Structure 1
Amino acid sequence: MLKRTLVTLCLLPSVTAVAAEATQNDASSDDQCIITPPVSPLAKPTNLDKVTNQIVHIKSNQSEGTLGDKATFDGDVTFQQNGRQIKADQAIVDQQRQSFEANGRLVFQDGVVTVTADSLNAQMSSKVATLDSAQYWLNGQQLHGSAEKLEITKDNKVILKNSNFTTCPIGDESWALHARRIQLDPDDEWGEIWDAKLEIGSVPVFYVPYMTIPISDKRKTGFLFPKFSSSTKNGIEFATPFYWNISPEYDLTFTPDYMTSRGIYTKTEFRYLAGERQAGQVNLEYLGKDDMLSNHADRWLVNFNHQGAIDKNWRVMANYVDISDNNYFTDLDSDVSRATENQLSRIGDISYLTDNWDFSARVQDIKVLGEVTSPYQVMPQLSFAYRAPSIWQKLDFNLYSELTNFEHRGNGFNTATRLHVEPSLSLPIQGPAGSITSEVKLFQTNYSQRNLAVEQLDEDVNRTIPEVRVHGKINFERFTEYFDENYRQTLEPQFQYLYVGHRDQSNIGIYDTAELQQDYIGLFRDRRYSGLDRIADANQLTVGLTSRLFDEHNVEQFRFSLGQIAYFENSKVNMYADELSEDSSTSVLAAEMDLHLYDDWFFSTAIQYDTRHHDNKKSEATLDYRPGPNKLVQLSYRYVPDLLNSNTNDQVDIKQAGIRTAWPLTDNLYFVGNFYYDLNEDRSVENYTGLQYESCCWAVRFAYHYRIKTNYEDNYNPVLDNRELFETSFTLNFVIKGLGGTGPLGVADMMDDGVFSYRKPLYLRN
């Protein structure tokens, strides 16, 4: 009979175990040896979990042993304890030497790594195991490699000597990292590498004496992948970001960016979490003595952003950005804003929200790049809104009010404090066949204006304006057939009657008001202007019609909308006193259409047409072919007349046509191209060509970009005397996955890179 044998596994805490009895030299299959530590009758219940985790299970086809000496297990040996497993042809437990050996088709597995090796030798006293000629895989990841020796320490670290690893498939040598020593710490979730040599296609690329790599998504301090590009505005550019993982709540990325044409451009981004529901970031950017400027001026950016919830009701938001000169975003690739944006917003807001009422306090300052005159500052604005649905019968009551103080940075500008109260009563009646909503509203506004620089403005203005609005909609449906397909067609006529009383408002300054666009949805607004400085009088009727087609799966395949306003009286209120009043009986005729043409073809268009002067006020159209993910061909056209050029104060027409495409050339190679042409100026305004190759273990992207630049007047920081109108750039990104990089974001971000970012039309079947 098999004697009682003391067995301890080196990879686990030392335990005293008793072998179950088995027949010596028993050749029957699936013989099982269950090794369990003895439990004292006086053991405390709190130790039961620990004891359970120490249970060792050994299975083999055959086993034999001698008390106090050796136990041998042969044939399909499986050794299991607490989530770890060793499989081998043979295993020997030596009680006297406190060792464990396994060999023959050996496989070791735990929660971190899977290893195949020629042999395993473990010392029970030191709890260290060594595997020779090991092949290893990190569980749940693509990273794998080989090592002359693989050592597992008592604190569960993995040490590899004369090792290599890659994230490429087995047999693919696209890249590999060879190292004298690699140490993987599953608790810290990072690896340390000494004397590393990176080979791409078996060609050595660079040597690193020491580096760290992630073995999970956990963040750690270190260098990120560099970026290389070339352009006419910056020359050859090389950036090496450094990431500092300060704590779980704070991190910082510092990027020194060397540009041969300008100098060293440093970018710092600090991010933080304030509790579970608030977050923010701070950006600092600096370029000292820009060599591309005629006066070698310093250029800088400061940005602060914060938002979140204090508790269930309180919300906070703050955003501040400032730059050294108007052309900062045009010339430099900032991390904060794109060069096409021409406004800097500085806002601080705190709000208290409930089901029936809200309160907020806000300060706001907007800087418009290239404009000599700045907008007014809101310092501050207090607003209160109250909602009482079904306050009486089915009547709804709403109240909006605000107290706003307008200031200005410049001299010679009037300032004002405005108190506005806007109560309303509405009666919504809805049914399956349609709806009608009647509303009565009162605008009560008081202005206290100071530092008056315009003669017609008054110091104190009280303005009371009534409004009556009736909006109705009817839904008709029928089943029909087109092109041998069954459809459900809707006909949705709607109307709106709007009456707004007239009040002369030429004695009020313009603080936050601008004219709104008259697209189809805009026809049914009750305002001509944003803000409250001008409330246009109205006596008008808007009629509109929408028709839709739904297929048998109730998916919308077609939508067409057409509408126009009929004026019973022309409005007498304009933005400025010297502005001529528009004398017209109708508004523009606004139409919109979205159509699923066939299979993967989609068409979308919108137009605003002046029926009185037979003039096109605005139009745009797109034709999309999208047969699958990352497959796109889009043709587009847009026309906008009489736009004001902020630099010259001249009116210009925009008439542009373009083509945008994204297409996989192979399973791994993608192409993205854009071409936009100005039909008025007879020149291209943007060309973009991008090629991206991406495999499971590495990715590379090459992009060429030729685009028009937005150059602003800049009196405070003079720039080049002869500033280029167009910019040409080349960009090369190369990423090795598994060394801290994730590769380019994909085709979508290439489609968004440019002056004309991709605008996905309304795909009706989605």
Structure 2
Amino acid sequence: MNNLGNHKPLPLSMISLLILMLSLPVLGDEQSNTSKDAPWDMNFFIPNCPGNQLPKKLQEDEVLMIDFDADDIVITNKDTVTFKGNVTLENGFKKLRADEATLNKADNIFTAKGNIRYHDQQVRLTSDAFTLEVDKQTGEVNNTKFQFVRGSLRGKARRINFKEDKTLRISDVGVTSCPPGSESWLLESSTIDVDPLKGIAEAKNVTLKINDVSIFYFPYISFPIDARRKSGFLYPSVGSSSRNGLEIEIPWYWNIAEDKDATFTARYLSKRGVMVAGEYRQLTENTENEVYAEYLSNDDRGLPDTEERFFYQINSAYSEGEHWRGKVDLSSVSDDDYFYDFGGNYSSGNRNSLRRFAQISFDDEHLSFTGLVSNDQLLSTPTDPYSRLPQLRLSLLYPEIFAGLTSNLHLEATAFVHDSSVESERFFAAPEISLPLNWLSGYIKPKLKLHYSRYSQDDPNNLLPDTVTRTMPIFSLDSAMFFERMIDIGRYNFTQTLEPRLFYLYVPSKQQSDIALFDTTSVNNGVDSLFRENRYSGFDRIGDSNQLSVAVTSRFYEPDTGREKMRITFGRAYYFEDRVVNLAFPEDGNPAVDLGIDDKANSALITNVKVGLYDNWSIKGELEYDDSANRTEKGVVGLHYISSGLAINLQHRLKRYNGLDDVEQAELSFSWQISEDLSFVGRWQQDLTKNRTIDSFAGLEYESCCWAIRLVARRYLNVRLDRQGIAVPGTDEFNNGIYLEFILKGLTNIGNSLNLERDIQGYEDRFRNY
């Protein structure tokens, strides 16, 4: 490439100086993914901006050789060489082009002028004039346009100074992430100090302009120029709600180390006062730790006994090798109304419980162990839950011990602690043996289990015995068959399966009302409940049963792809004996209530359907139909249309409670991309029983190539409850809020980050990566 013509060869000392000039990193970091063949134009890298191209990946040379070229090279004397016409100097990842360049060995100064183009691993720029002091590796560029290669920012400045510590000072500068000629937003600053090695920029005397109109002034701000974390103030969040008034949050982020950080936030609530919050996160090879806390010293709207408000949560997860796991979740709140008043930015305040537990577990092929302590907190309920101090579980699993036999042993010991109710120590053991017989088209699995429990109870009312033992055999026989055929439905070909399943269960009847309920309740009906060995959760009740559960499932697959397009299941249980065991026991000083005998001959007919014959349409539903009462007891049916740019969901839910507090709801949610830039989102949830709206919101999203905005207005039911779970009279049932999120792409996210994916199935958050 050395086009010297008939000129004299450069002296060795001059070549050495050129190598020195271009071999030292001007901006550091020689592990960039920037191509040394990156284009010279100043297009920007935001994907939605027209004409933007990401540079190719670096292809490092094994030896970084210096290349230089010019139409004419003039050696004035032994110390000075001048390159004229189409000057190109290239070394590794650094490349410079200019109309003319001069290298003075005596002063060790390199100058270039005229149509300058320069790029390295961190920045690309154009300029009128460029000066470099080779020894110090300092320099100056005037009247320049620049672009940070790794980040999303470009700009123009009167001057850029390359400093000896490899930082930059940019003077009289404007930066944006918008493409040339469409600067929707611009940050103007007197000076910006950039540290490419740390990925940090600090600006002074900053004005934020939107469409050339000054919006905010900041005496000082700092921001990242790439994806790395940095300490400093984050941009404020502004919102409003009918319950708290104007809300302004000012967060400060502390990047403590590579594996830990913290965020401190001052939150101003115009109707309540100033709340402070803090979050600490740590990630190590074996643990993930997070601590979060909120505190309001004097609530201006609080009740006399709730002026001091707080909430904290500690989460920790631990792992060691393949076998050991640990988890801690500790949360507490000052009062029952905390989430009602401070439910969070967009999240509902209808939270009624807090998990508080610590757990450690060990698992391998044949052994599973779990140790747990828990003390959960319930809100707006008359009684607190039982604490487990501790609970120890051990399972021994030995498949195919002899002639296909499988043996398991489950052990548990738990101490249930309560301030005002029955306490107990419970020991549970359940050895079981089974003989799984499997073949290609089906299986049969007989199983015999012996359930043993021992309770040491402490009843303050002396209505329950101190010691209770219970031994019960449980026999089950599970079986299924699998049939398959090809079938045509219209113009579609499918592989259809037919999967009948029979599950017989026998558990003898045993009176158990002398045992209190510590962790036991009824299990919700569903297809899976037909094949459970116990109709109750926990071990305080073992439901008597002599029943046969029958279910049939049929699936339709695409024969070429194996993709399931439709699944239908029908099932019910047939009872050969009445069920005597129930949840009654003496409590609160009163004898056990007679809950009667369940004498139904069969369960409700349960139907589960999932249909997706067309790529964009799907139907999902589950119904429980009681033919003895000739009515649907529970049902959920949803119709979904999801395509690129459009998602629509319709859903109906029904749950009957013997005519008391029946629940029937309808819901519509949607996300509609009206144009390439504009989207409309919304959700409406209606209580059909009480004829009132439970939750509704509507919003607009606008996204250009360099900025985006999302505005959502919401009204939702949020009822204040007393300790008995009864609505407090005279309080607002609904909360209204406006949620704003404004994004300057490549710079910051201003406002509340909204989690709409949780509420709109099929919604794609295009703002997530900014």
Q: Which residue of 2 aligns with 1:277?
A: 286
- The CA deviation at 1:739 is 2.7
Q: Which residue of 2 aligns with 1:517?
A: 524
- The CA deviation at 1:338 is 5.1
Q: Tell me, yes or no, if structure 1 residue 642 matches structure 2 residue 639.
A: no
For the residue of structure 1 that corresponds to 2:143, the secondary structure is strand
User: Are the structure 2 counterparts of residues 693 and 429 from structure 1 closer, same or farther at C-alpha, using a change threshold of 3 Å?
Assistant: same
Report the residue type matching 2:302 in the other structure: L
Q: Tell me, yes or no, if structure 1 residue 357 matches structure 2 residue 367.
A: yes
Q: Which residue of 2 aligns with 1:42?
A: none
How far apart, CA to CA, are the structure 2 residues paired with 1:4 and 1:431? 86
Alignment of 1:173-322 (within 5 A): 173-273=183-283, 275-295=284-304, 297-322=307-332
Q: Which residue of 1 aligns with 2:637?
A: 621
TM-score (norm 1): 0.88
Q: Tell me, yes or no, if structure 1 residue 87 matches structure 2 residue 97.
A: yes
Contact 1:68 1:96 (C-alpha < 8 Å) held by counterparts: no
Q: Tell me, yes or no, if structure 1 residue 631 matches structure 2 residue 646.
A: yes
Report the residue type matching 2:475 in the other structure: V
Q: Which residue of 2 aligns with 1:750?
A: 756
For the residue of structure 1 that corresponds to 2:397, the secondary structure is strand
How far apart, CA to CA, are the structure 2 residues paired with 1:425 and 1:61? 90
User: Are the structure 2 counterparts of residues 405 and 81 from structure 1 closer, same or farther at C-alpha, using a change threshold of 3 Å?
Assistant: same
User: Are the structure 2 counterparts of residues 384 and 325 from structure 1 closer, same or farther at C-alpha, using a change threshold of 3 Å?
Assistant: same
Query: Deviation per CA, 1:213-270, whole angstroms, max 9, x where unpaired?
Result: 1012222221212221222111111111121222223322122111112111222212
Which residue, out of 407, 425, 430, partners 1:422? 430
Query: Deviation per CA, 1:23-70, whole angstroms, max 9, x where unpaired?
Result: xxxxxxxxxxxxxxxxxxxxxxxxxxxx99785332334334256222
Deviates more, 1:416-425 or 1:298-307: 298-307
Contact 2:247 2:270 (C-alpha < 8 Å) held by counterparts: yes
Contact 1:446 1:461 (C-alpha < 8 Å) held by counterparts: yes
Q: Percent identity?
A: 30
Contact 2:371 2:393 (C-alpha < 8 Å) held by counterparts: yes
How far apart, CA to CA, are the structure 1 residues paired with 2:748 and 2:347? 26
- The CA deviation at 1:502 is 2.4
How far apart, CA to CA, are the structure 1 residues paired with 2:623 and 2:565? 20
Q: Which residue of 2 aligns with 1:726?
A: 734
Report the residue type matching 2:499 in the other structure: E
Q: Which residue of 1 aligns with 2:482?
A: 475
Q: Which residue of 1 aligns with 2:441?
A: 433
Query: Deviation per CA, 1:489-540, whole angstroms, max 9, x where unpaired?
Result: 1111111011112222111111110100111121111110000000111111
Report the residue type matching 1:514 in the other structure: T
Query: Deviation per CA, 1:627-660, whole angstroms, max 9, x where unpaired?
Result: 22x52111111111118xxxxxx93011111211
How far apart, CA to CA, are the structure 1 residues paired with 2:21 and 2:731? 69
Deviates more, 1:735-744 or 1:220-229: 735-744
How far apart, CA to CA, are the structure 2 residues paired with 1:338 and 1:675? 14
Report the residue type matching 1:149 in the other structure: R
For the residue of structure 1 that corresponds to 2:339, the secondary structure is helix
User: Are the structure 2 counterparts of residues 727 and 549 from structure 1 closer, same or farther at C-alpha, using a change threshold of 3 Å?
Assistant: same
Q: Which residue of 2 aligns with 1:667?
A: 676
Which residue, out of 563, 567, 571, partners 1:555? 563
Q: Tell me, yes or no, if structure 1 residue 600 matches structure 2 residue 616.
A: yes
How far apart, CA to CA, are the structure 2 residues paired with 1:336 and 1:480? 48
Which residue, out of 590, 602, 609, partners 2:625? 609
Contact 2:741 2:749 (C-alpha < 8 Å) held by counterparts: no
Contact 2:188 2:206 (C-alpha < 8 Å) held by counterparts: yes
- The CA deviation at 1:11 is 4.8
- The CA deviation at 1:593 is 0.6
Q: Which residue of 2 aligns with 1:504?
A: 511
Query: Deviation per CA, 1:687-737, whole angstroms, max 9, x where unpaired?
Result: 111112122322222111111113210599x99862111111122222323
For the residue of structure 2 that corresponds to 1:523, the secondary structure is helix
How far apart, CA to CA, are the structure 1 residues paired with 2:288 and 2:719? 33
Report the residue type matching 2:625 in the other structure: Y
Structure 2: 5+ residue stretches without partners: 1-7, 26-60, 585-591, 764-770
Q: Which residue of 2 aligns with 1:495?
A: 502
Which residue, out of 113, 117, 121, partners 1:107? 117
Q: Tell me, yes or no, if structure 1 residue 536 matches structure 2 residue 546.
A: no
User: Are the structure 2 counterparts of residues 246 and 324 from structure 1 closer, same or farther at C-alpha, using a change threshold of 3 Å?
Assistant: same
Report the residue type matching 1:418 in the other structure: R
User: Are the structure 2 counterparts of residues 478 and 743 from structure 1 closer, same or farther at C-alpha, using a change threshold of 3 Å?
Assistant: farther
Which residue, out of 106, 122, 126, partners 1:96? 106
Q: Which residue of 1 aligns with 2:52?
A: none
User: Are the structure 2 counterparts of residues 83 and 3 from structure 1 closer, same or farther at C-alpha, using a change threshold of 3 Å?
Assistant: closer
User: Are the structure 2 counterparts of residues 603 and 144 from structure 1 closer, same or farther at C-alpha, using a change threshold of 3 Å?
Assistant: same
Which residue, out of 556, 569, 590, partners 2:606? 590
Deviates more, 1:215-224 or 1:512-521: 215-224
Alignment of 1:672-751 (within 5 A): 672-714=681-723, 722-741=730-749, 749-751=755-757
Report the residue type matching 1:724 in the other structure: D
Alignment of 1:444-483 (within 5 A): 444-453=452-461, 455=463, 457-483=464-490
Q: Which residue of 1 aligns with 2:578?
A: 570
Contact 1:5 1:68 (C-alpha < 8 Å) held by counterparts: no
User: Are the structure 2 counterparts of residues 181 and 720 from structure 1 closer, same or farther at C-alpha, using a change threshold of 3 Å?
Assistant: farther
How far apart, CA to CA, are the structure 2 residues paired with 1:454 and 1:569? 34
How far apart, CA to CA, are the structure 1 residues paired with 2:356 and 2:239? 32
Q: CA RMSD in A?
A: 2.5
User: Are the structure 2 counterparts of residues 697 and 522 from structure 1 closer, same or farther at C-alpha, using a change threshold of 3 Å?
Assistant: same
Contact 2:150 2:226 (C-alpha < 8 Å) held by counterparts: no
Contact 1:220 1:243 (C-alpha < 8 Å) held by counterparts: yes
Query: Deviation per CA, 1:277-299, whole angstroms, max 9, x where unpaired?
Result: 20112222112332223426221
How far apart, CA to CA, are the structure 1 residues paired with 2:679 and 2:301? 35
Report the residue type matching 2:656 in the other structure: P
Contact 2:237 2:752 (C-alpha < 8 Å) held by counterparts: no
Contact 1:294 1:721 (C-alpha < 8 Å) held by counterparts: no
Which residue, out of 634, 658, 667, partners 1:658? 667
Alignment of 1:125-164 (within 5 A): 125-164=135-174
Q: Which residue of 2 aligns with 1:386?
A: 396
Contact 1:165 1:178 (C-alpha < 8 Å) held by counterparts: yes
Contact 2:719 2:732 (C-alpha < 8 Å) held by counterparts: no
Q: Which residue of 1 aligns with 2:353?
A: 343
How far apart, CA to CA, are the structure 2 residues paired with 1:59 and 1:743? 52
How far apart, CA to CA, are the structure 1 residues paired with 2:119 and 2:147? 10
User: Are the structure 2 counterparts of residues 3 and 298 from structure 1 closer, same or farther at C-alpha, using a change threshold of 3 Å?
Assistant: closer
> How many pairs does the alignment contain?
708
How far apart, CA to CA, are the structure 1 residues paired with 2:10 and 2:507? 103
Structure 1: 5+ residue stretches without partners: 16-50, 644-649, 762-766
How far apart, CA to CA, are the structure 1 residues paired with 2:467 and 2:595? 23
Contact 2:671 2:760 (C-alpha < 8 Å) held by counterparts: no
- The CA deviation at 1:6 is 2.5
How far apart, CA to CA, are the structure 2 residues paired with 1:720 and 1:566? 45
How far apart, CA to CA, are the structure 1 residues paired with 2:646 and 2:13? 66
For the residue of structure 1 that corresponds to 2:749, the secondary structure is coil
Deviates more, 1:73-82 or 1:441-450: 73-82
- The CA deviation at 1:77 is 2.4
User: Are the structure 2 counterparts of residues 593 and 272 from structure 1 closer, same or farther at C-alpha, using a change threshold of 3 Å?
Assistant: same
For the residue of structure 1 that corresponds to 2:581, the secondary structure is coil
How far apart, CA to CA, are the structure 2 residues paired with 1:485 and 1:464? 56
Report the residue type matching 1:392 in the other structure: F
For the residue of structure 2 that corresponds to 1:330, the secondary structure is helix
Contact 2:327 2:359 (C-alpha < 8 Å) held by counterparts: yes
For the residue of structure 2 that corresponds to 1:378, the secondary structure is strand
Q: Tell me, yes or no, if structure 1 residue 327 matches structure 2 residue 327.
A: no
